[in-house]
Structure 1
Amino acid sequence: MANRSLPITLTRAYSRTDFTALRAFVQRVPPATIARLYFSEDSDGNAPTAGWVSMYLRRMQADLVDLAIEHGSPVLADHLKASARAHGSARLTAVTLKMVEQAAALAVARPDAQHPVGMWFRPLVSLRLKGEGIRTLGDLVAFCNRRGGSWWRGVPRIGAGRARHIVAWLRQHEASIGERVIDDVELEDPLVAGDPVVVDGPRSALVPLERMTIGAALAGTNGANRSNAFPFIRARNDLDAVRAYLNRYRDQPKTLRVYTKELERFLLWAVAVRGKAMSALMVEDCEAYKDFLGLPSPSFVGPRAPRSSPRWRPFATDALTPESQRYATRALRAAFAWLVDVRYLAGNPWKAVNDPRVLKREASIRIDRALPADLWERARAFMDEACEPVGAKQWRIARALLLLMGESGLRREEAAGAMRARLAVSPHSIRVHTVWQLTVIGKRNRERTVPVSPATVSALRAHWRDRGEDFDDLRSSASLSLPLLAPLVVPSFRVAEARHANSDAPQGYSTQGVWRLVRWAMKGLLEGMDGLSEADRTVLHGASPHAFRHTFGTHAAADDVPIDVIQRALGHASMQTTSIYVQAEQRRMAHEFERFYASEPDANE
């Protein structure tokens, strides 16, 4: 017993990434390359050096050789001992390393829910996961379960193929992780799923309009409210009629999306809850649906999910606001009125249904999200500095976008659709600092002209230089037809790739692309700006594209720009809406003077 050696134990367990790195090391891949491919920064943000990687992998190799000598076959042990005597340490080839790994299987760490993702995935993958708040394997499982089969769409540059490997690996190790990826997190790309689903009564699957087929009994072919007159549309049933109505808005994507949502909700409720065809509904049924809007049944409610996902539900919240309920009622009333006009329906039951009561609020828009003047100026200064390096092209795009919204009051749809041909020096500008003007198409298809600051034009020029285009070349019709803002790299999303591939000319940003760019910029400001207060961080963290439109309105009011001028620039239909910006500035002034007067001595003392 006294001469028996103790079993060898490891000071740490090695992960799959460690073994992959060691294989590369054995195959003489440079340590600097291994560091970049397989090792992440430490907790202090320090990148691993080539020297550290070399030392770490040599120590790991020695540990595994000791384990293989202890637990492996006699032939392998003799080979390793002979190699060590000849070279000072055992030299491994790809074949002997594989044998050592098999013999040292006990050294491999078992995945655990608390393990950081960097322990099991490559640095670039780990970095992207961490960017979405996914720091541990437990976080990753929860994220997949919460988002469903399209979870990877919320993580930049994690495609469907890589997502399938990650989910398969998580399921393979669910016993040691202690948490399970649920079954409806599909391994296939959810966009390929799209087979029609028959909705024919209670307990039917709930699917969006484009995948919906209604059973013959409830299709409305012979609905009680069908018109006997000659119809103006070729609609065999209620689903055909609804699609004919929505086709009117094919050139208005935002309106089409909203009306589709309201009509598919109503169709699903009529068939799956009420058990009646839409063309057979009476006033009492419409009143019942109005009540349903206030409290949808749990089967109709679920977290936001792609329309192709089995997790999709008609409602994302279990209680619509009174404003949303009123909007739904009016949208359905308008749709039914059109169906009566085209002689599909005999009458409109929604005409007898009152709108839900809505409390009229004094201020209907959230202008408190505007950036205060001091924060806006500091953010602009930071962006100017961030744009100086030659490679800072993304910052130059972000600066041009934020200035276009924050200095001209554009909505994100207007910024996305802004064209070079509609931007010119204002013929009325007579000052030293030239004012430009941009004509955009706003809400309700209304055209308006907004001012554009010299700083914005300068930012646009810098962005165009990055695109390899001449911003000031007004002789070329090709230049005039270009969007003011365009991505330099097409995002790796199927929709984006198709959109850019189907056009010879460069395409501008989508509205969703504008939103993502603003959020990228806010994250950069939060991480890079010094001296941010808690209030500053709160504003930047919650800033959406619309916050910069509010920033323009609030700052213009503070600088005493006449309210009617602000109204025209913002495109408000009512001056009462614009006056909210003036009231906000007056309220801020009152609060500031309250603090000022509070510091003065009381005259009665």
Structure 2
Amino acid sequence: MAERRTPSGKTTASGQASTGVADVAFPRGFTTKDFTALRAYVQRIPPAIIARTYYDPDEDPHAATPSAMERYLNAMLDTLVQLALAHGSTALAEHLRASIKQHGQPKLTAVTFRMVTEAAQLAAAAPHPDHAIGAWLRPRIARRLKGEGIATLGELVAFCNRRGPSWWRSIPRIGRGRARAIVSWLRKQQAALQLTVDIDVDSAEHDGVPLVADERVEVVPDFASEQGQGRQRSRLTLAPLERLAVPHALSGAKGENRSTAFCYIQANHDLDAVCAYLNRFRDQPKTLRAYTKELERFLLWAVVLRGKALSDLRVDDCEAYKDFLKNPDPRFVGERFARHSPRWRPFAAGADGSASLSADSQRYAVRALRAAFTWWVDVRYLAGNPWKAVNDPVVVKRENVMKIERALPAALWRKLRDELDARSAEEGATQWRAVRAAILLMGDSGLRREEAAIARRENLRPSFYGTLDRPVWELTIVGKRQQERTVPVSLATLDALRAHWADRRKAFDANEAAGTPQGPLVAPVIIPWTDASRRRHREGASNEMARLNEAGYTADGLNRLIGRMLTELVETADAFDLDDRMRLGHANAHAFRHTFGTCSVADEVPVDVVQKVLGHASLQTTTIYVQAEKQRVLEEVASYYARRVGEAN
């Protein structure tokens, strides 16, 4: 039997020219990864490098050795060329035959390779939701996705849709660029996968705000719920306050409770009135955020589930909303998403998937709404306040409203400081030095995380009451309730701040020429290259005024940094026993403020002094830290029980 060469130079046991698909001896079903690898092979990339770059030897046996990789690529090239000869254009077929006749195998350029792959689409496998991600994505990316529990293409689409535009942030070394490439490929394969990637995933942005957020969303009443049907089946259209649009009939423009007297605010409808009320708290971001949440929940409930405008509500409606807070409609509940996401929901789901609010949260919501309605009556937008006739939800008055059990014992606090000192002494440990400065600032001065984030160098100075032998420094900050207070700063904290400022290449100590240094006491040394970070830290960085107004950590950013570094300590430090690791594993940034309270009281610092440092409005709040008194009460009662048992015997 005569032998002949195939297009790649191989011999087959046939004497006839092979121009059709029937003579292809290799199975079809090549993936995007295979086409990319073959393109590299055509460009003369060595098979060993191709195997390492595009394949995982554990999952792809043909990538186990360079020779096996080369055989696989040659086989694939044979298949594609024969398909191109059968299904490609006449010009392409003549070019391939001429190349085979001259060289014994086709010599492909980048252009002819693209033409071959386009003509040989019959050899391409269609992706399926059950396909492993390793069959379609590069090994390094596949391994990182598997680390998040994503094994198949279907699970990847579900993960993206569940997490929204920032789905990639929790996956190590998957940045915005790689994420966009993955999502772009998933969108192209939607027909084959029969799965849809949600519109806000990888949405285009303008000044950091996704374009999907530019559109207002009109919410309408859910009449199926009023008829007792479709409570679980129909999906509600909901949107946060800044994107909310309401039908005119439910806008409150002609609400029954609208005041007929001259109105002190320019409000044509309920949304205008809500925005006017919230504008009062524009300089109090935490209060603004909390009140916005309560008002938009109530407004959405009134329009969507009650079918009424805000200015049409009566006492029975308010009572119904109070009951609603005990068990919110499941369609109002979801995972936490950005406010511009279509999957945003007014209530965040708990660990069990429900959003049952505590009695304290229910009472807070009722009081916040009553206060808003009182203001609308005062400015003559509404004629009356129906919430005045509604009682607050009953709550249990708790003995201890603060969770101080996370405070570190004195011995563990010393161990942690020693470990932070050791880590900070290592070369290149800039993150550890930043964390040490932040933790000591909270643990030695009793600052809240928000206060540590806004603390500035120009407000830190030597105290008039210090001496050369015993210097004392003090820091002035504006804390809770916009109350200014001055707290002492330890020498250990000062040393930590000096090391942190040296990492930032800034002078910490004042000099006659430059005066007192300015800037946040704690600020990022390594700034992530994200849109948000670039807007916060890098814009105008060359400007002198921008340098003086250097941005520090946000309170949440500082909390995340401390949590991440504490986790590393729990996993790697040898100085801690099992009990220490358990305590550190449950600690957060606020735990160090509690640590100052418990340790200072245990060292017999007067309670009124601790109160001033912590900034408590009431001395009663500070006495919670007096654990000795609570322990004594429990011990006395235990002795009483023991005596009663003895008398009975």
Structure 2 distance, partners of 1:464, 1:470, is 7
Counterpart check, 1:163 vs 2:179: yes
Asked whether the equivalents of residues 47 and 70 of structure 2 are also in contact (C-alpha less than 8 Å), the reply is no
Q: How many Å apart are 1:213 and its aligned residue?
A: 1.7
The aligned residue for residue 151 of structure 1 is 167
Structure 1 distance, partners of 2:255, 2:621, is 44
Q: How many Å apart are 1:167 and its aligned residue?
A: 2.9
Give 3-state SS (helix, strand or coil) of 2:626's partner.
Answer: helix
Counterpart check, 1:199 vs 2:233: no
2:201 pairs, out of 179, 186, 189, with: 186
Counterpart check, 1:519 vs 2:563: yes
- Stretch of structure 1 that moved more, 113-122 or 542-551: 113-122
2:73 pairs, out of 64, 73, 85, with: 64
Q: Tell me the amino acid that sits aligned with residue 303 of structure 2.
A: V
Give 3-state SS (helix, strand or coil) of 1:343's partner.
Answer: coil
The aligned residue for residue 487 of structure 1 is 524
Task: Say if 1:381 and 1:219 are closer, same or farther in 2 by CA, change over 3 A.
Answer: same
Counterpart check, 1:570 vs 2:570: no
In the TM superposition, 1:325-336 aligns within 5 A as 325-336=362-373
Asked whether the equivalents of residues 113 and 179 of structure 1 are also in contact (C-alpha less than 8 Å), the reply is no
Q: Deviations over 1:134-157 (max 9, x none)?
A: 677676445324323442344467
Task: Say if 1:555 and 1:476 are closer, same or farther in 2 by CA, change over 3 A.
Answer: farther
Asked whether the equivalents of residues 407 and 594 of structure 2 are also in contact (C-alpha less than 8 Å), the reply is yes
Give 3-state SS (helix, strand or coil) of 1:450's partner.
Answer: strand
Q: How many Å apart are 1:168 and its aligned residue?
A: 4.0
Give 3-state SS (helix, strand or coil) of 1:440's partner.
Answer: strand
Consecutive unaligned residues of structure 1, counting only runs of 5 or more, are: 43-53, 85-90, 595-605
Counterpart check, 1:384 vs 2:384: no
Give 3-state SS (helix, strand or coil) of 2:164's partner.
Answer: helix
Q: Deviations over 1:390-426 (max 9, x none)?
A: 4222222122112212222211111110010111223
Counterpart check, 1:211 vs 2:243: yes
- Stretch of structure 1 that moved more, 136-145 or 419-428: 136-145
Q: How many Å apart are 1:321 and its aligned residue?
A: 0.6
- Stretch of structure 1 that moved more, 495-504 or 356-365: 495-504
1:357 pairs, out of 374, 377, 394, with: 394
Q: How many Å apart are 1:182 and its aligned residue?
A: 5.4
Q: Tell me the amino acid that sits aligned with residue 60 of structure 1.
A: M
Provide the TM-score with structure 1 as the length reference. 0.79
Q: How many Å apart are 1:387 and its aligned residue?
A: 2.3
Q: How many Å apart are 1:539 and its aligned residue?
A: 3.3
Q: How many Å apart are 1:359 and its aligned residue?
A: 0.7
Task: Say if 1:559 and 1:15 are closer, same or farther in 2 by CA, change over 3 A.
Answer: farther
The aligned residue for residue 403 of structure 2 is 366
The aligned residue for residue 498 of structure 1 is 535
Q: Tell me the amino acid that sits aligned with residue 120 of structure 1.
A: L
Counterpart check, 1:254 vs 2:286: yes
Give 3-state SS (helix, strand or coil) of 1:482's partner.
Answer: coil
Aligned-residue RMSD, C-alpha:
4.5
Q: How many Å apart are 1:326 and its aligned residue?
A: 0.6
2:137 pairs, out of 92, 109, 120, with: 120
Counterpart check, 1:539 vs 2:576: no
Give 3-state SS (helix, strand or coil) of 1:362's partner.
Answer: coil
Q: Deviations over 1:185-211 (max 9, x none)?
A: 634248221311223423662111101
Q: Deviations over 1:456-502 (max 9, x none)?
A: 11111111111111000254778633111112243334333223326
1:244 pairs, out of 273, 276, 279, with: 276
Asked whether the equivalents of residues 15 and 119 of structure 1 are also in contact (C-alpha less than 8 Å), the reply is yes
- Stretch of structure 1 that moved more, 327-336 or 579-588: 579-588
Structure 2 distance, partners of 1:322, 1:275, is 26
Q: How many Å apart are 1:239 and its aligned residue?
A: 0.7
The aligned residue for residue 9 of structure 2 is none
Structure 2 distance, partners of 1:114, 1:372, is 51
- Stretch of structure 1 that moved more, 489-498 or 392-401: 489-498
Task: Say if 1:341 and 1:331 are closer, same or farther in 2 by CA, change over 3 A.
Answer: same
The aligned residue for residue 581 of structure 1 is 625
The aligned residue for residue 442 of structure 1 is 479
Counterpart check, 1:429 vs 2:466: yes
Q: Tell me the amino acid that sits aligned with residue 203 of structure 2.
A: E
Q: Deviations over 1:412-448 (max 9, x none)?
A: 1111100101112233234846442211111111112
Q: Percent sequence identity over matched residues?
A: 52
Task: Say if 1:119 and 1:222 are closer, same or farther in 2 by CA, change over 3 A.
Answer: closer
Q: Deviations over 1:203-242 (max 9, x none)?
A: 6621111011221111111212111221111111111011
Counterpart check, 1:268 vs 2:288: no
Q: Tell me the amino acid that sits aligned with residue 325 of structure 1.
A: Q
2:331 pairs, out of 285, 296, 299, with: 299
Counterpart check, 1:548 vs 2:598: no
- Stretch of structure 1 that moved more, 425-434 or 238-247: 425-434
Give 3-state SS (helix, strand or coil) of 1:480's partner.
Answer: coil
Asked whether the equivalents of residues 26 and 79 of structure 2 are also in contact (C-alpha less than 8 Å), the reply is no
Asked whether the equivalents of residues 141 and 179 of structure 1 are also in contact (C-alpha less than 8 Å), the reply is no
The aligned residue for residue 88 of structure 1 is none
Counterpart check, 1:341 vs 2:378: yes
Asked whether the equivalents of residues 80 and 123 of structure 2 are also in contact (C-alpha less than 8 Å), the reply is no
Q: Tell me the amino acid that sits aligned with residue 168 of structure 2.
A: W
Q: Tell me the amino acid that sits aligned with residue 437 of structure 1.
A: E
Q: Tell me the amino acid that sits aligned with residue 343 of structure 2.
A: R
Asked whether the equivalents of residues 113 and 138 of structure 1 are also in contact (C-alpha less than 8 Å), the reply is yes
Provide the TM-score with structure 2 as the length reference. 0.74
Asked whether the equivalents of residues 208 and 307 of structure 1 are also in contact (C-alpha less than 8 Å), the reply is yes
Consecutive unaligned residues of structure 2, counting only runs of 5 or more, are: 4-11, 14-23, 86-95, 224-235, 350-354, 639-649
Structure 2 distance, partners of 1:59, 1:101, is 22
Counterpart check, 1:459 vs 2:496: yes
Q: How many Å apart are 1:519 and its aligned residue?
A: 2.5
Structure 2 distance, partners of 1:370, 1:184, is 44
Q: How many Å apart are 1:587 and its aligned residue?
A: 4.6
Q: Matched residue pairs, number?
A: 572
Structure 2 distance, partners of 1:83, 1:381, is 72
Q: How many Å apart are 1:247 and its aligned residue?
A: 0.6
Structure 1 distance, partners of 2:72, 2:633, is 70
Asked whether the equivalents of residues 326 and 356 of structure 2 are also in contact (C-alpha less than 8 Å), the reply is yes
Q: How many Å apart are 1:381 and its aligned residue?
A: 2.8
The aligned residue for residue 317 of structure 2 is 285
